[in-house]
Structure 1
Amino acid sequence: MKVLVFETSKDRAKLITDLLGDYRYKIHVNYHGDQAMTDVRNVKPSLIIVNANIRPQSGLSILEKIKRDARYAKIPVIFISNFNSTELTTNLSRYPNVDYLVEPFKIKNFRHIVERWINFRSLYVN
């Protein structure tokens, strides 16, 4: 199982990698957000984790590109932001298969969301 992570912080990327490593997932990390769709195409992930603050493209821009492409629209995305707003929640709710975590988040909540999407994907998505 492959997980693609778009993350700004090497420390947070290491935390995510360590947490997901317990499940023996193959983790691919992009720290800059450039070439986002190339990474999605090449990695072929089962799950994508996007930090809202990734640059040069914003996390929301990356999410929009993924969900607009029919080949990748069904891939679950966990969107992580340190900013909680009604506007962002509304924007994210337009897309299927997206969960939203506000930092700081509890590790058990993160693991629960990951497990739920991986289980869902294994049952219902080719």
Structure 2
Amino acid sequence: MAARKRSILVVEDETDLAELVRHNMEREGYACRVVSNGGSALAEAVAHPPDLILLDRMLPGMSGDEFIAHLKRDNRVASIPVIMLTAKAEEADQLVGLSLGADDYITKPFSMKLLLARVAAMFRRVEIASTEREVLTKGPVCLDSSRHEVTVAGAQVQLTATEFGLLRTLMAANGRVLSRGHLIETVMGVGVAVTDRTVDVHVTALRKKLGKAARWLQTIRGVGYAFRDSP
């Protein structure tokens, strides 16, 4: 039996770019669907959940920011990884996108080679998390890699693929301090062009979701982060 193709939902209102992305994704063996607005994309994501969403930030009507906010509030689709595609190149704009729940951020214009590499890296990240069998527990936080599930004091917490990878890497380090560079390479992949500040934004979002358990995730000034056995 042939393996199921990974599916990608492209949310892009520029027809030529959308078709170019679709062509390249399908050539790489992915199943690809294209929608041109946020409202239709939400309905499509719920009806037929994709494995990945490529999201234009500057959409007519419902913006990309509004789309991802709605997506992350819906437990049925909140765990779908999202890569934002946008002409907004300023770091502040990128940080806003990441803080809303995007897993990655690519600025336009971009090469198809870069986009395909980032898509492949995202799928590798998700696959690694889904094939591992470890269950990590520190304080009130329990992370089950095989089920891609995190609970805090027994209550389930929805994390993005990147947030889950960061938490798993930090918890598995058994209290050791990990540099931002190490976290970028381990969680996001070698050669991914992101800044240390990007890691900080993901960690900030992760802390908010952990609530009081965020005390276990400690910042080591000038070095990086550690998940301790006690706060």
Q: For residue 110 of structure 1, report the CA deviation from its aligned partner.
A: 0.7
Query: Which residue pairs with 2:76 in the alignment?
Result: 71
Q: Which of 96, 99, 102 is the equivalent residue of 1:94?
A: 99
Query: Which residue pairs with 2:49 in the alignment?
Result: 44
The CA distance in 1 between the partners of 2:106 and 2:45, in whole Å, is: 21
Query: Which residue pairs with 1:25 in the alignment?
Result: 30
Are 1:80 and 2:85 matched, yes or no? yes
Q: For residue 123 of structure 1, report the CA deviation from its aligned partner.
A: 2.9
Query: Which residue pairs with 1:112 in the alignment?
Result: 117
Structure 2 unmatched ranges of 5 or more: 1-5, 131-146, 148-231
8 Å contact from structure 2 (residues 84, 102) kept in 1:
no
Instruction: Give the aligned residue type for 1:50.
Output: L
Q: 1:70 to 1:103 in 2, by over 3 A?
A: same
The CA distance in 1 between the partners of 2:112 and 2:41, in whole Å, is: 26
Greater shift in the superposed pair: 3-12 or 70-79: 70-79
Q: Which has the larger radius of gyration?
A: 2
Q: 1:97 to 1:58 in 2, by over 3 A?
A: closer
Instruction: Give the aligned residue type for 2:53.
Output: I
TM-score (norm 2): 0.51
Are 1:123 and 2:128 matched, yes or no? yes
Q: Figure out how many residues of one structure are paired with residues of the other and give that number.
A: 126
The CA distance in 2 between the partners of 1:68 and 1:84, in whole Å, is: 26
Percent identity between the two aligned chains:
24
CA-atom RMSD in angstroms:
1.7
Structure 1 unmatched ranges of 5 or more: none
Q: For residue 50 of structure 1, report the CA deviation from its aligned partner.
A: 0.6
Q: Runs of 4+ in structure 1 displaced over 4 angstroms?
A: none
8 Å contact from structure 1 (residues 6, 51) kept in 2:
yes
Are 1:9 and 2:14 matched, yes or no? yes
Q: For residue 95 of structure 1, report the CA deviation from its aligned partner.
A: 4.3
Pick 1 or 2: higher relative contact order, CA cutoff 8 A, min separation 6: 1
Q: For residue 49 of structure 1, report the CA deviation from its aligned partner.
A: 0.6
Q: Which secondary structure does the structure 1 equivalent of 2:106 belong to?
A: strand
TM-score (norm 1): 0.88
The CA distance in 2 between the partners of 1:95 and 1:53, in whole Å, is: 15
The CA distance in 1 between the partners of 2:13 and 2:89, in whole Å, is: 18
Q: Which secondary structure does the structure 1 equivalent of 2:79 belong to?
A: coil
